[in-house]
Amino acid sequence: MINSEYIKSMAFEYGADLAGIGDIDLYEGSHPRQDPRQICPTARCIIGFAFRIPKGIIESMQNGSQVYNYTLMGVKANAEEKTMIFLMRMARIIENEGYEACLQRTSPNIRVRDDHGTNPEVSVSYRLSKSVSVDGKRPEPEVLLDFDKAGAICGMGTLGWRGNLLTTQFGPMQRLAFIVTNAPLEPDPLLERPICDNCGLCSEACPGHTISYLVDGSRYDKWSCSVYYRGAHRSNPLMHDGILKDHPEREKILNGDKKFSPEEAKSVYGELDFLPPTQYGYVPCLCGKRCDTECYRHLLEAGRIKPMKNNYGRVKI
Amino acid sequence: MLDKELIRKVALSSGADDVGFGDLELFDDAPPDMDPRYIFPRAKSIIGMLFRIPRGVQRGIEEGTQFGQYPSLAYGNINEIFAPVVLYEVGKLIEDHGYEAVVYRNTGGRGPVSDMTGEKGSTLTPEEQIEIDAEIDTDKQRSSKKTPLHRNVKSTRPVSPENRAPDLQFHFRIAGVICGLGEIGWSKMFLSPKFGPMVRFAYILTDAPLEPDPMYDGEPLCKRCMACARECPGNCISTDTTKSNKINIGGKLIEWGEIDTWKCFVYYTFPGRKHDPFIPTEVFEENKDGKLAILEKEGVKSGEEETLNVYRTLEGYFPTWMGYNMAKCGGCIGACVNMLEKKGCLKDKFNEPFRTTRKRWEIDR
């Protein structure tokens, strides 16, 4: 008989750094295209897992000595290898007990039809704008969970200024995976206190000024982020005179002052060819992920997050 | 001391869901280009490892709401990541005991013989993304280029007279039968007594002498209910029992129905107006230059050209990930799981049935 404690203990044994269980009823009123009950109508809960980005990777980005390792290890190895193996192992535990494990990995290259942004991490991203409902009642596929929101529902953290999940131990520095299941597991409570204190350091740190202080309107300009993430700024140690040399707004771009429309962003990707994309098309992060590294540093200093020495101590195996 | 129980224990604890040991002499009647003994002539045993596809990964297709997790987790992940990790662990165990372990994952259609036509030379394979340059969707950022699974085996040739042309591929499902892991159903899908058709494989050829397991001799799992044929959106599986394929392996008769493999390729990825929610109706209505003929008209002969016509026309409506085509049809496999559960054929039971409605969804257009 599985229960919440056992699921979490196995999650830690298999390599998760955080695990939480969310009450499926908290999705009441959510958009059907982001509602896990549309994937698994018998779902009773959603289980969330976080996988930390090692501090050494963050530090090597901060000191400017290693820029590729974050993409290779923090993004690609985490999302495409570690979490994939992990999810399959967790599925065995749940399905061996007769419950269904609807595994939810990231879908980096696709976006729901309402999402007019992009995913700065990948070379190609599609918006599924033309799909139709299979019966006129169910939402048009692809139903995709909002991973940040799901992490909060699972009690692992709260949303930060730009809408990303900040967890109690790692702030913004983790990748996420989920399992929607009809196993009856006791949910964790939501965190009451926000982890983000609206310090604004993420906004100040971004070399492309893609995170706005403005309370109204969009706080995070993903299309501009996708350009600066690829290194279109002076602080990129790989920048040279040949990059964007004929672009009429080169100075503005390199100063981080250009706001990119989707078409403008797509038109410059080809020139920002500093390092090869990894397998599966993750583009190298050449902004230093300063929004997250500064956030992480601040949250640690302010005592708003506290990494534990090891998670095995949290739950008895 | 290396023995079957130790191998089984390590394989299961590393992530395999079932393990079986096969007699290599049962490949005596296999075509030489599909005989694993050419890969490792000193091999004494073949070890089969079976990996389940979690039923929950099929759930989104069954509900018609989420299609991307299945090819990524069940195909890409098991073939590229999960099974290789297990192969590596078991291979190390065997080699630590002084034997050799040729670890063999599912390599896709890399063989010199087409798994579509049975002929030599390059061709397509249904699970894998075709190298193509489609520009359809509104927000596509950049055209796709060569796929990770790109191949060209036109010129392959044996390196010596006693050898076969690389890369030799053996038949994974028949090897599964030889290793005692289950049987082959009417749809040609492999059926495991525990997981039905929701499985994938990996193998090890070794010179370690290991006693073969008996082939599956329990109650036939496939009851010839023909649900697979009825629910195939392309009617790719024949129900004509007089035209089946039969082979004999060590006295065990294996039989499956006639399958239009090219048409299956098309419908697997682009299952037509009633089963493909990613393609807007007007695209089917327009049927530009007649490229969707095999989806829209009766009696169109299937083949590589018709397959590419559909692929080139529709590829941009749903991108692939990890180089594996999106399995959107869910027809035979969903039907089979449903029927095996209803007929009580599966050892592992779920608390709730796979299908709760009488009929699977169908788009009204």
Dist CA B154 CA B325 (whole Å): 23
pLDDT given at position B130? 62
Amino acid of residue B264: C
pLDDT given at position B329? 86
Of B72, B278, B349, the CB nearest to A141: B278
HSE-CB of A16 using CA atoms within 13 angstroms: 26
Confidence bin at B112 (pLDDT 50/70/90): confident
Residue B157, number of CB atoms within 10 A of its CB:
9
All residues of chain B having their beta carbon less than 8 Å from the beta carbon of residue A88 are: 15, 51, 54, 73, 77-78, 82
Q: What angle do CA B189, B242, B271 make, to 5 degrees?
A: 40
pLDDT given at position A272? 94
pLDDT given at position A302? 96
First vs last C-alpha separation in chain B: 63
CB contacts under 8 A, B 261-280 vs A, are 277-280
Q: What angle do CA B296, B301, B304 make, to 5 degrees?
A: 100
Q: Which residue has the higher pLDDT, B231 or B108?
A: B231
Q: Which residue has the higher pLDDT, A139 or B349?
A: A139
Confidence bin at B143 (pLDDT 50/70/90): very low
Structure-token match 């007279």, residue found: B161
Residue B125 scores a pLDDT above 70: no
All residues of chain B having their beta carbon less than 8 Å from the beta carbon of residue A90 are: none
Amino acid of residue B146: K
Dist CA A40 CA B65 (whole Å): 9
Dist CA B105 CA A316 (whole Å): 36
Q: Which residue has the higher pLDDT, A200 or B167?
A: A200
User: Which of the residue ranges A19-28, A203-212, B132-141 would you say has the lowest mean pLDDT?
Assistant: B132-141
Would you call B27 exposed, middle or buried from its count of C-beta atoms within 10 A (0-12, 13-18, 19+)? buried
All residues of chain B having their beta carbon less than 8 Å from the beta carbon of residue A125 are: 139, 141
Q: Which residue has the higher pLDDT, B353 or B145?
A: B353
Residue B109 scores a pLDDT above 70: no
Percent of chain A with pLDDT over 70: 96
**A140, A133, A135, A151: which is closest to A112 by C-alpha?**
A140
Confidence bin at B308 (pLDDT 50/70/90): confident
Q: Mean pLDDT for chain B?
A: 89
Q: Decide if B67 touches A, using CB distance below 8 A.
A: yes
DSSP state for residue A298 in the 8-state scheme = H
pLDDT given at position A23? 98
Q: Decide if A131 touches B, using CB distance below 8 A.
A: yes
Summarised one tens digit per residue, pLDDT across range A107-159 is 998 888 888 899 999 988 888 888 999 999 999 999 999 999 999 999 999 99
Dist CA B241 CA B336 (whole Å): 18
Contact criterion met (CB < 8 Å) for A80 and B361: no
CB contacts under 8 A, B 303-332 vs A, are 316-319, 321-322
Q: B349 vs chain A: nearest CA distance in angstroms?
A: 6
Summarised one tens digit per residue, pLDDT across range A248-276 is 999 999 999 999 999 999 999 999 989 98
pLDDT given at position B129? 64
Q: Decide if B3 touches A, using CB distance below 8 A.
A: no
Contact criterion met (CB < 8 Å) for B68 and A142: yes
Residue A207 scores a pLDDT above 60: yes
Percent of chain B with pLDDT over 70: 89
Contact criterion met (CB < 8 Å) for B63 and A42: no
Paired with A179 in beta bridges are A47, A103
**A14, A144, A103, A138: which is closest to B55 by C-alpha?**
A103
pLDDT given at position A153? 98
Q: Decide if B69 touches A, using CB distance below 8 A.
A: yes
Summarised one tens digit per residue, pLDDT across range B244-294 is 999 999 999 999 999 999 999 899 989 999 999 999 999 999 999 999 999
Dist CA B63 CA B59 (whole Å): 6
User: Which of the residue ranges B9-18, B41-50, B230-239, B354-363 would you say has the lowest mean pLDDT?
Assistant: B354-363
Residue A26, number of CB atoms within 10 A of its CB:
17
User: Which of the residue ranges A39-43, B1-5, B110-114 would you say has the lowest mean pLDDT?
Assistant: B110-114
pLDDT given at position A309? 62
**A136, A144, A170: which is closest to A156 by C-alpha?**
A170
> How many interface pairs between A and B have CB atoms less than 8 angstroms apart?
180
Q: Decide if B147 touches A, using CB distance below 8 A.
A: no
Dist CA B187 CA B80 (whole Å): 25
Helices within B64-153 (DSSP H only) = 69, 83-96
Confidence bin at B134 (pLDDT 50/70/90): very low
Give residue limits of the domains in chain B: 4-107+169-261+327-342, 112-165
**B221, B261, B259: which is closest to B343 by C-alpha?**
B221
pLDDT given at position B132? 53
Contact criterion met (CB < 8 Å) for B82 and A85: yes
Confidence bin at A64 (pLDDT 50/70/90): confident
- Tell me whether strands A174-181 and A157-159 are parallel, antiparallel or unpaired: unpaired
Mean pLDDT, range B327-345, rounded to an integer: 92
Q: Which residue has the higher pLDDT, A277 or B176?
A: B176
Residue B137 scores a pLDDT above 70: no
First vs last C-alpha separation in chain A: 15
SS3 labels along B197-219:
CCEEEEEEEECCCCCCCCCCCCC
Domains of chain A: 4-190 (3.40.109), 201-292 (no CATH)
Q: Which of B18, B57, B66, B129 to mutate to test the interface with A (most CBs of A within 10 A)?
A: B66
Q: Which residue has the higher pLDDT, B324 or A202?
A: A202
Q: What angle do CA A128, A134, A138 make, to 5 degrees?
A: 85
Contact B246, B253 (CB under 8 A): yes
* Nearest chain B residue to A106, by CA: B69
E strand segments, A29-100 = 45-52
Mean pLDDT, range B192-213, rounded to an integer: 97
Of A39, A138, A280, the CB nearest to B59: A39
Residue B145 scores a pLDDT above 90: no
Q: What is the ipTM of this complex?
A: 0.92
- Buried/exposed code over B221-257 (b: 16+ C-beta within 10 A; e: otherwise): bbeebbbbbebbbbebbbeeeeeeeeeebbeeebbbb
All residues of chain A having their beta carbon less than 8 Å from the beta carbon of residue B281 are: 132
pLDDT given at position B330? 84
Structure tokens at A181: 């299941």
Of B56, B64, B322, the CB nearest to A95: B56
Q: Which of A84, A87, A90 to mutate to test the interface with B (most CBs of B within 10 A)?
A: A84
Confidence bin at A216 (pLDDT 50/70/90): low
CB contacts under 8 A, A 194-253 vs B, are none
DSSP state for residue B324 in the 8-state scheme = B
Q: Mean pLDDT for chain A?
A: 92
Q: Decide if B27 touches A, using CB distance below 8 A.
A: no
Of A41, A88, A140, the CB nearest to B63: A41
All residues of chain A having their beta carbon less than 8 Å from the beta carbon of residue B60 are: 39-40, 102, 141, 143
Confidence bin at A60 (pLDDT 50/70/90): confident
Q: Decide if B77 touches A, using CB distance below 8 A.
A: yes
Residue B209 scores a pLDDT above 80: yes
User: Which of the residue ranges A14-23, A97-106, A253-262, B110-119 would you say has the lowest mean pLDDT?
Assistant: B110-119
Q: What angle do CA A86, A90, A94 make, to 5 degrees?
A: 170
All residues of chain A having their beta carbon less than 8 Å from the beta carbon of residue B68 are: 107, 110, 142
Cis-peptide, bond into residue B18, ω within 30° of zero:
no
pLDDT given at position B127? 65
Q: A5 vs chain B: nearest CA distance in angstroms?
A: 21
